[in-house]
């Protein structure tokens, strides 16, 4: 478990630190070119995510029941997390930000483009599923993007830790526990089983394999799909609400706010909110494997 955690965290942190160091010494023109290229690399990553999602759905061990339960649980997790992190001050911020039709249509347009990239990835899988795999491509692309974010981050003044740095991951964990309790009332899964599945916090590459090893392939598939769908919710909401209601959406990102959804956080949120997202993602990434093992033991 520690080796999985180490091998997942170190490359991400290394890419971020190297990008930050590079940005401190690189010419301003080069940094601008790197920052402008982030959008196009994000699209490529979304295509790879769509391809991976199609690979999961093509697995014969995943039945319609598992798929529907995963969709339901991801929806409940995302909704409860959003409500727990939502504050009335977010509403006034939203009212100030939404002043023109362009303000409304711009994030919707970006969200539609993002979803189209995912659909394109699914289409690619249907046409070329026997020809290649995107697993290594997606990982390498993610590290390049995080390096680029580090370059962009080098222009930002780092701020000290605030209560928000700690409240976002803590409330995200509490929302997971409450969500598991709610869903256990309407499904045949126990609350502890659902807490085990929810403890992936969007980290589908860990949760699916670890839970399948600890329990059975069905629950592993359930966890993988739940975290995948949670990531889709996070990406869509970052485009639509990230600028106006950042903390609830960062909570939905879960552990992925320091890696795969960090790119979208950076695009939609302020410098301080990006730092909080990285901190929250780091804490949840550290806790995820331990919580999964803990709840699997019950």
pLDDT at residue 121 is higher than 80: yes
Q: Helix/strand/coil (H, E, C) string of the chain?
A: CHHHHHHHHHHHHHHHHHHHHHHHHCCHHHHHHHHHHHHHHHHHHHHHHHHHHHHHHCCCCCCHHHHHHHHHHHHHHHHHHHHHHCCHHHHHHHHHHCCCHHHHHHHHHHHHHHHHHHHHHHHHHHHHCCCCCCHHHHHHHHHHHHHHHHHHHCCCCCCCCCHHHHHHHHHHHHHHHHHHHHHHCCCCCCHHHHHHHHCCCCCHHHHHHHHHHHCCHHHHHHHHHHHHHHHHHHHHHHHHHCCCCHHHHHHHHHHHHHCCCHHHHHHHCCHHHHHHHHHHHHHHHHHHHHHHHHHHCC
For residue 286, the model assigns a pLDDT of 83
Stronger pLDDT, 100 or 184, i.e. the higher one: 184
For residue 112, the model assigns a pLDDT of 80
Range of the domain at 254: 2-296
115-140 mean pLDDT: 76
pLDDT at residue 2 is higher than 70: no
96 band by pLDDT with thresholds 50, 70 and 90: very low
The percentage of the chain sitting over the pLDDT mark of 70, rounded to a whole number, equals 85
196-205 mean pLDDT: 90
pLDDT, one tens digit per residue, over 209-263 is 788 888 888 898 899 889 989 999 998 899 888 888 999 999 999 999 988 888 7
Task: Name the domain count of the chain.
Answer: 1
pTM (2 d.p.): 0.78
Stronger pLDDT, 241 or 72, i.e. the higher one: 72
């Amino acid at each position: 478990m520690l080796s999985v955690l180490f091998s997942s965290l170190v490359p991400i942190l290394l890419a971020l630190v190297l990008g930050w160091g590079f940005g401190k010494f690189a010419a301003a023109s080069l940094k601008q070119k790197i920052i402008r290229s982030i959008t196009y690399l994000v699209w490529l990553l979304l295509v790879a995510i769509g391809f991976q999602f199609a690979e999961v759905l093509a697995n014969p061990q995943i039945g319609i029941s598992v798929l529907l339960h995963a969709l339901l649980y991801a929806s409940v997790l995302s909704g409860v997390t959003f409500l727990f992190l939502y504050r009335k001050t977010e509403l006034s911020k939203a009212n100030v930000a939404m002043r023109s039709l362009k303000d409304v249509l711009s994030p919707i347009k970006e969200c539609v483009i993002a979803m189209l990239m995912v659909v394109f990835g699914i289409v690619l899988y249907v046409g070329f599923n026997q020809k290649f795999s995107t697993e290594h491509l997606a990982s390498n692309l993610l590290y390049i993007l995080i390096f680029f974010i580090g370059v962009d981050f080098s222009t930002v003044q780092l701020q000290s830790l605030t209560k928000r740095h700690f409240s976002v991951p803590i409330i995200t964990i509490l929302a997971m526990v409450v969500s598991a309790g709610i869903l256990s009332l309407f499904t045949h899964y126990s609350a502890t089983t659902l807490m085990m599945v929810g403890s992936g916090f969007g980290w589908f590459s860990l949760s699916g394999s670890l839970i399948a090893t600890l329990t059975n392939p069905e629950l592993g598939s359930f966890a993988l799909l739940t975290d995948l769908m949670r990531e889709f919710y996070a990406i869509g909401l970052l485009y639509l609400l990230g600028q106006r209601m950042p903390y609830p959406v960062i909570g939905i990102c879960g552990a992925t706010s320091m890696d795969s959804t960090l790119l979208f956080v950076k695009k939609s949120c302020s410098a301080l909110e990006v730092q909080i997202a990285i901190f929250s993602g780091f804490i949840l990434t550290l806790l995820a494997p331990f919580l999964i093992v803990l709840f699997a033991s019950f």
